[in-house]
Amino acid sequence: MLVASSAGGIQGLGTLLGGLDAAWPAPVLVAQHLRRSRETRIVAVLSRATALTVTLAQGGEQPQAGTVYIAPPDRHLCVHETGTLYLTREDRVNSARPAADPLFESAAKTYGPQAVAVVLTGADGDGAQGVRAVRAHGGTVIVQDPETAAFHGMPKAAIRTGQVDYVLPLAGIAPALGRLLGIP
């Protein structure tokens, strides 16, 4: 599962991850726009909101079910063809690093139809290109309803692609993910 968020994203991520059971059967890869100028506390904050294990992603890791991997500040989180994670300092995408598009695009190539991408609140258009890649490889795209988002930019940009499977209020995303993965 892939998740992208920006402005207002910490609260949105807390709500989404808080709705996932500790036995969640898939890894969760997150691109949250983070400031590079200071140490991030996102792991501590999100760990309080969810029963899942939350960690900053490291290059070379094989993602494990029930673990949330957060892109570290100033690094894009990507998935290698072998399924391992890697981090890059390639150019900013949509003025951000980490950004959603590199994560979505690399994961779409690796996971194909098994990729599920979620776009949450954010002020810019990051994730729209990645949404196209996920759908082109047969994956599923869920977008937070802009009316329930703190910032509408990212959800609206994703919706404008015409490549979105579900537009749901924030509180409805975790249950929908459970249904997609066959979890009662």
Task: Give, for all 184 residues of the chain, the pLDDT tens digit.
Answer: 999 999 889 999 999 999 999 999 999 999 998 766 556 789 999 999 999 999 999 999 999 999 999 999 989 999 999 999 999 988 888 778 899 999 999 999 999 999 999 999 998 899 999 999 999 999 999 999 999 999 999 999 999 999 999 999 999 999 999 999 888 6
Q: Which domain holds residue 118?
A: 2-180
Global pTM? Answer: 0.95
Helices 128-136 and 153-160 pack at an angle, to 10 degrees, of 40
CA distance 172 to 166: 10
Number of domains comprising the chain: 1
Query: Quick one: which of 158, 162, 113 has its CA closest to 134?
Result: 113
Residues present in the chain in total: 184
Q: Active-site residue numbers?
A: 6, 33, 126
What is the domain-level CATH number for residue 86? Answer: 3.40.50.180
Dihedral class, residue 25 (left if φ above 0, else alpha if ψ from -120 to 50, else beta): alpha
Query: Quick one: which of 74, 70, 48, 52 has its CA closest to 61?
Result: 70
